[in-house]
Structure 1
Amino acid sequence: MQIAVTTPTGNVGRHVVATLLRAGIRPRVLLREPDRLAPDIREEVDAVRVDQYDADAVVAATKAVDALFWVDPTTGGEDPLADYARATESVVRAVTANRIGRVVFQSSVGAEKRHGAGEIDGLAHTETALDDTGVDVTHLRCGYFFTNLELQLDALRAGLLQVILPLDRPMAWVAPRDIAEVAATRLLSPDWSGRHVQAVHGPTDLTWRQVAEILTAATGRRIDVERVTDDAMRDLLHRAGMTDALVEAVLGMSTGLRENFEPEQPRTVRTTTPTTLAAWAHDHLKHRIDETADAPADPAALRPAARGGEDPGR
């Protein structure tokens, strides 16, 4: 079986690659900078230099592939939804031209809305486009990544997270490694075909107040959370240099799922994964917060990845 993996150095992709290697698979990995692969990993994979926005390059890179793990790349453009459309064109052309048998697509809770959820609308577009190809596909509707907290290290050091969601509304939080395990399992399993939606919800739904309490206990630092207005967050994003379209796409990931939204997939034993936020924060986040900040604040830190999208570092 020839399996291709996009974003192989990202928070999810790197764990997909490691799981496939342990299963005895030598994956083909698609990335812009093959030199970013760890030397020991580089020897165990077939690395192809490719820009996922370049449809011709993606088609060439996925020839003779049986299964594909596709993650829409994090957009840095002024019009995020246009970038998602370009990435969608690439995967659709690759699947069609190369007759790829199955795809596991990293999507997001909220993609079921199809419209009105900011950047998540881009993931919804990829879902529907893949469905239209008739390929065997599993859409992973993922919760909010633990690793999005790493984009707010300065705020965590200062002891205050600012959000625009209700502080007592629970939502699914999930570890990227758990998403990767689900993705690799689907890629390797021969016992499914057709279209499937597999939610990945983490161990339990959490409110932002609970998240602050968990982070306080795990890091040994007092961390509070406060809700700010949409306009206050919009102003903050504008001052960070984001365009109007980008600001609205970022805000929409929260505002679009804030009112009267219930996930299409309820939490079940199949959607629940084991890694807790407390364990992840203790093992991965605590030392990051304790590090001395020796670089200027990055405007990207104000912008979490789409709930199911890949974090920077792909």
Structure 2
Amino acid sequence: MIVITGAGGQLGSRIVEQLLSLAPAEQVGVSVRDVAQAKRFADRGVRVRRGDFLEPETLSHAFEGADQVLIVSASIRGAAAVPANRAAIDAARSAGARRILYTSHQAASHHSLFAPQLTHAATEDHLAAAGVPFTSLRNGFYATTLGFYLGAAVETGRLVVPEDGPFSWTAHDDLAGVAAAALASEGLFDGATPPLTAPDMLDFAAVAEQASEVAGRMIEHVVVGDDDWKASAVAAGMPEAAAEFTLGMFRAARRGEFAVTDPTLEKVLGRPAIPARQVIEDLLAPR
């Protein structure tokens, strides 16, 4: 039995979909906070059970009988994220899983300027110390993050951001494909993987250029100071903590934390990675 957490989310749901092309549905289980989110999988014969990282007692039932557990990193900001991920790792070990996988990030580090990377690094430490064979999938930066910026940019003609640097923008579908392959081929990865990224990097100036081409109108890349950007974001309704969190991403980018690419993802997929340009096109497509 292979159990995947977070099957109601963007990454987890895609991993399940792709795994079902590689393994029988009766060998696949999902752990979700709301079982209604996984009805489409239940209808196809996947075992669906409720599991919540913040309620560790639910995880023993969700992970029951699992040979492998793929833990999609908790979508929690702040200090609660690491204990939540640790609880899932501990539950998978207690359930008897002989292999645990975790969706980490290519920039995972105890010294990162972007808070999620500290979470990933601490979780990887716990995973390595769990005494169970493990795989830490060091995913490239989610390309869909651009959606938080492009809508307003197209409306105003200005992409206003702090100073940044190159990002390893990588599509969810590609990352899901690698995760599914890792689950179906247990010898594929051992320990932390190489960076799982698309081959090209874009900074926000390049994003503005490509978005201009896709949208058919000029989108100017405007760089502002951190304090000015934060003040504008808060004035527009963003909570101050969220604005500071986002600034961490830009600070890490300009230090080069996301300026990494690697051929491993394309080798595992056996095809070219989805380019950031295609993700931009999808994000700007009429709804």
Instruction: Judge same fold: TM > 0.5, yes or no.
Output: yes
State the shift of 1:232 in Å. Answer: 2.0
1:210 to 206, 222, 227: 206
- Asked if the contact 1:165/1:258 (under 8 Å) is kept, the reply is yes
Counterpart of 1:12 in structure 2 is 11
Contact 2:109 2:120 in 1 (8 A): no
Q: Distance in 1 between matches of 2:23 and 2:89?
A: 28
How many Å separate the matches in 1 of 2:176 and 2:231? 35
Comparing 105-114 and 232-241, the one that deviates more: 232-241
Match of residue 277 from structure 1: 276
Q: Name the CA shift for 1:81/1:135 in 2 (closer, same or farther; >3 Å).
A: farther
Question: Using a 3 Å threshold, how does the CA distance of structure 1 residues 216 and 128 change in structure 2: closer, same or farther?
Answer: same
Secondary structure of 2:80's match?
Answer: helix
Please give the secondary structure, in 1, of the residue aligned with 2:195: strand
Distance 1:237 1:74 in 2: 22
2:97 is equivalent to residue 100 of structure 1: yes
Aligned partner of residue 135 in structure 1, secondary structure: coil
Give the direction of change, closer, same or farther, for the CA distance of 1:198–1:138 in structure 2 (3 Å limit): farther
Separation in 2, partners of 1:200, 1:193: 12
Distance 1:205 1:242, change over 3 A: same
Matched, 1:137 2:134: yes
Query: 1:180 offset after TM fit, Å?
Result: 0.4
1 CA distance for matches of 2:196 and 2:190?
19
Q: In 2, Cα distance between the equivalents of 1:40 and 1:241? A: 34
**Post-superposition offset of 1:188:** 1.1
C-alpha displacement at 1:210, in angstroms? 1.5
Counterpart-to-counterpart distance in 2, 1:148 and 1:242: 18
Q: Kindly tell me: are residues 9 and 67 of structure 1, through their superposed partners in 2, closer, same or farther at Cα, counting changes over 3 Å?
A: same
CA contact under 8 A between 1:203 and 1:275: conserved in structure 2? no
AA aligned opposite 2:18: T
Q: Distance in 2 between matches of 1:241 and 1:189?
A: 43
Aligned residue in 2 for 1:187 = 183
TM-fit CA distance, 1:189: 0.8
Q: State the AA in 2 paired with 1:277.
A: A
1:111 is aligned to 2:108: yes
Q: Where do 1:2-41 residues align within 5 Å?
A: 2-26=1-25, 27-37=28-38, 40-41=40-41
**Which residue of structure 2 aligns with residue 162 of structure 1?**
160
Equivalence map 1:243-254=2 (5 Å): 243-244=240-241, 246-254=242-250
Q: Do the aligned residues in 1 keep the contact of 2:163 with 2:223 (CA within 8 Å)?
A: yes
Structure 1: distance between partners of 2:278 and 2:135: 28
CA deviations 1:199-253 (Å, max 9, x no partner) are 1111311122221122222233432322221112332444435254x54333223
> Structure 1 CA distance, aligned partners of 2:258 and 2:214?
30
Structure 2: gaps spanning 5 or more residues: 267-271
Task: Give the percent of matched residue pairs that are identical in Structure 1 and Structure 2.
Answer: 23
Paired amino acid for 1:253: M
Deviations 1:33-54 (A, max 9, x none): 22233x5433122111222221
Structure 1: segments with no counterpart, 5+ residues: 292-314
Contact 1:56 1:90 in 2 (8 A): no
CA distance in 1, matches of 2:4, 2:189: 19
Which among 262, 275, 284 is matched to residue 268 of structure 1?
262
Matched residues in 1 for 2:138 and 2:163: separation? 20
Q: Write the distance in 1 (CA, Å) between the matches of 2:273 and 2:12.
A: 18
1:56-71 to structure 2, matched below 5 A, reads: 56-71=57-72
Q: Any conservation in 1 of the 2:71–2:103 contact (CA below 8 Å)? A: yes
Give the deviation of 1:103 after TM superposition: 2.1
CA deviation after TM superposition for structure 1 residue 122, in Å: 1.3
SS at 2:135 equivalent? strand
Please give the TM-score of this superposition, normalised by the length of structure 2: 0.85
Give the Å deviation of 1:119. Answer: 2.7
State how far apart, in whole Å, the 2-side matches of 1:225 and 1:180 are.
31
Deviation at 1:155, TM superposition (A): 3.6
May I ask how many residue pairs the two structures share in their alignment?
277
Q: Provide closer, same or farther for how the CA distance between residues 160 and 11 of structure 1 changes in structure 2, counting only shifts above 3 A.
A: farther
**Deviation at 1:179?**
0.4
Distance 1:219 1:260 in 2: 28
Measured after TM superposition, the shift of residue 4 of structure 1 is 1.1
| Partners of 2:113 and 2:280 in 1: CA distance | 31
Tell me the distance in 1 between the aligned counterparts of 2:192 and 2:14: 22
